[in-house]
Amino acid sequence: MQVAIKVENVSHKFGDRVALDNITLQVMTGEMYGLLGPNGGGKTTLFRMLCTMLPPTQGTIHLLGKSTSTSAVRAHIGVVFQHPSLDARLTVSENLRHQGHLYGMKGRLLSQRIEEVLNMMSLTDRAKDRVEVLSGGLQRRVELCKSLLHHPEILVFDEPCTGLDPGARRRFWDDLDTLRQTYGTTLVLTTHFIEEAERCDRIGILDRGQLIAEGTPEALKRTVGCEVITLETRDSKSLQLQIEKILDRDVQILDGQVRIVCDDGQRLLAKLYPLLREEVQAMTLSVPTLEDVFVQRTGHGFKVEDQ
């Protein structure tokens, strides 16, 4: 398997603020790679670099062996932005035709490509509809058609499912699976949705400009432990101190709840419940999630806030 994207020692600053801090990662050809993290983690900055919209302050990025500092690399990538880039007053076909012109496509070739991508995304019957009458999910599929017109080898998405309802999200992910099966396209997406990151082959977790973890979702979750106990209480600090004394180990407080990572949750619950039942309002035993990986690596919760 070949390397499609190589990011080496990339850092970037906006004034005094460090947006990316010495990021190194690779994405293989045909892989779906997710950049997961809360807002402000550095995802969008790296997205803009992969799209050649922003040069790094230091370090290098190569796509298919070509530096993002050269305009020639743009012919090989497709981009789907977080915010709509369609002209709502034009029809679906008109939007696609104008996009094709930007890539120097015209005539019969462009018409054939428009027909192909509309058919792939099941939008042939909506070709003459103005974009403004389409649902959010259908508009997102038209955005995907735009990015596919020139047969890109790499597709880069910024928060692709923002604003979509659950049904439209599922359809969008089916569309991505179709792309991989049909063309073997390399996909890179930014997201703050844990469930989206779970569907990627590999993910890189970003926080405050740093790559804090990387790997397959399952491998990352295994680094946390087998199980996670969450205890709800009125006085989390008091409960934390009691449990630390009983277990002789550090215990976390997250969002007002006491959290214990362990390998034998049922046995531990059976031990703690008789001792703490007066102070505990609810006990939950679950398997680790990618959010647990984030908490373990950073010491704080995965909070998505407005930038």
pLDDT averaged per 10 residues in sequence order, the chain, 307 residues = 95 95 97 93 95 95 94 91 91 97 93 94 95 93 92 92 79 85 91 91 96 96 90 95 92 90 90 91 92 88 61
- Whether residue 134 contacts residue 93, with contact meaning beta carbons closer than 8 Å, is answered with no
DSSP, collapsed to helix, strand or coil, labels residue 91 as strand
Distance of CA 62 to the CA centre of its chain: 20
Instruction: Look at strands 58-63 and 66-67 and give their pairing.
Output: antiparallel
**Looking at residue 305, what is its pLDDT?**
52
Residue the block writes with tokens 């908490």: 295
Strand partners, 18: 13
Rounded Cα distance, 3 and 213, in Å: 20
Task: For residue 115, give the H/E element and its range.
Answer: helix 107-120
Let me know if 140 is exposed, middle or buried by CB neighbors in 10 A (0-12, 13-18, 19+): buried
Note the pLDDT of residue 58: 96
The 10s digit of each residue's pLDDT in 76-133 is 999 999 888 899 999 999 999 999 999 899 999 999 999 999 998 889 999 999 999 9
The structural domains of the chain, with segments of one domain joined by +, span: 3-217, 225-287
| CB contact at 8 A, 302 and 213 | no
Which pTM value belongs to this model?
Answer: 0.85
Q: What is the pLDDT of residues 253-282, one digit of tens each?
A: 988 999 998 888 999 999 998 999 899 999
Per-residue model confidence (pLDDT) at position 306: 42
Neighbours of 271 (CB within 10 A): 13
User: Per the CATH hierarchy, to which homologous superfamily does domain 3-217 belong?
Assistant: P-loop containing nucleotide triphosphate hydrolases (3.40.50.300)
pLDDT of residue 304: 59
Token reading at 284: 């939950």
What is the number of alpha carbons within 13 Å of residue 259 lying toward its C-beta? 22
In CATH, what number does 225-287 get?
Answer: 3.30.70.260
